[in-house]
Amino acid sequence: MNISEVERLGRSVRYNFYDIFKTVQARPQGGLSIKVRRDRPAETRQSGIYVWHHPHWGYFYVGIAAADNFTERWNKHIQKLLDQCTSAQQMANWQSFAQKFAAAGYGIDDLKDITLRFYPRPNPNSPTFKQELSDIETRIVRAINPMCNREYDPARPSATRIPPTRPITESSGYSLQGSFTHDLTTSKVWLMQELARIQPRMGTVYVLGSWFGNISLYMHLLPLLKTSKIINVERDRNMLAQSRRMLAHIGADNVEHMLADANDLDYRQLGPDGVVINTSLTDMPGRAWFDNIPVGTTVVMQARDHDPGRQFHSTQDILDRYPLTNVEYQGKIELRDPETEYNRFMVIGTK
């Protein structure tokens, strides 16, 4: 059952959960703190139809917003999904799904894998607009029968799956093991080799979206580059903690772990010969991380194609979005991840 088989749905865009939300955290006193990004895509402030999807659970909810009330509605869906309703009223189907989600070992950390497929429908200011949206919603719900919608019929096939339990060894995605696949290791070694040709001695290096500290691990184990300090910037507390443990284990004592949003940095530790590395362009919406980098800094950027995140098809795509005054290196390598072949692009230069 495929959503694209529903006729006349028109253009859709797909957003990663954290393209729209800034943070979702459990409050110590109970309930959730949910913040949306100020720089969320403009389209998500307009009217349209949206479908929530998780790679293991499939499509699980279809909804509409006839005005700029997506973020309010999506805020409530998060409360329902995690079954922590404070400002939302829990619904029977959501609750049943939430209980299955929790029982299979999923929770707040899995929000990052959710994507929102969105069909923008500008409001032509017609009195029948809301009804038209609602009719389309009904057609989608009938076609894919998602488990969280009120109309869900358990007797019919559904686009929502129930995985028996949380897969422990994911081949890709955000798992520790998935961060050391052959293609990702090759990409990091490529980065170190090219950077070593340009700037083998560096001051402080900021690694944005540092994941499990992979680059800092390689930089320690394969000392092609000399650096006085590495700052791993990551917004995921658990990944950062894992990174800290691994780097301590190998005796890397010049690495700082910073729990922060890369878009909020002031680069105060950069100093002379500092370098900023961002290999997560496809995963990182917003451009404050780049705008805040002091002019004259060496910046290394990597992005790839065939990715559900933001699309990049060339090094020029990187430079168009993040212009440099002097490009020292740009190149492409062909790789294969556990799912597909793809191209990775890299640019090194001075901002």
Ligand X SMILES: C[S@@+](CC[C@H](N)C(=O)[O-])C[C@H]1O[C@@H](n2cnc3c(N)ncnc32)[C@H](O)[C@@H]1O
Residues lying near ligand X in the complex (CB under 6 A) are found at: 174, 184, 209, 211, 233-236, 239, 261-263, 279-280, 283-284
Smallest separation (angstroms) from ligand X to the CB of 20:
13
Looking at beta carbons only, is 9 or 303 nearer to ligand X?
Answer: 303
Smallest separation (angstroms) from ligand X to the CB of 208:
6
**Residue among 84, 85, 94, 78 nearest 34 (CA):** 78
Is the separation of the CB atoms in 191 and 224 below 8 Å?
no
Looking at beta carbons only, is 129 or 342 nearer to ligand X?
Answer: 342
Looking at beta carbons only, is 12 or 181 nearer to ligand X?
Answer: 181
Looking at beta carbons only, is 137 or 234 nearer to ligand X?
Answer: 234
Q: In this structure, what token pair is assigned to residue 14?
A: 């797909």
Biggest CA pair distance of the chain: 67
Q: Which residues contact 253 (CB under 8 A, 6 or more apart)?
A: none
Looking at beta carbons only, is 121 or 304 nearer to ligand X?
Answer: 304
Smallest separation (angstroms) from ligand X to the CB of 178:
8
Residue nearest to ligand X (CB): 209
Check the CA dihedral 204-210-215-220 and report its sign: positive
CA distance 251 to 169: 27
Looking at beta carbons only, is 48 or 209 nearer to ligand X?
Answer: 209
Packed helices 70-81 and 92-103: angle between N→C axes, nearest 10 degrees: 50
Smallest separation (angstroms) from ligand X to the CB of 109:
10
For β-strands 21-26 and 32-36, DSSP reports them as antiparallel
Looking at beta carbons only, is 9 or 233 nearer to ligand X?
Answer: 233
Smallest separation (angstroms) from ligand X to the CB of 315:
16
CA distance 351 to 76: 41
Smallest separation (angstroms) from ligand X to the CB of 234:
5
Backbone dihedral angles phi then psi of residue 256, each to the nearest 5 degrees: -100, 140
Smallest separation (angstroms) from ligand X to the CB of 210:
7
Strands (E), 39-198: 48-54, 58-65, 115-120
Measured in residues, the chain has a length of 351
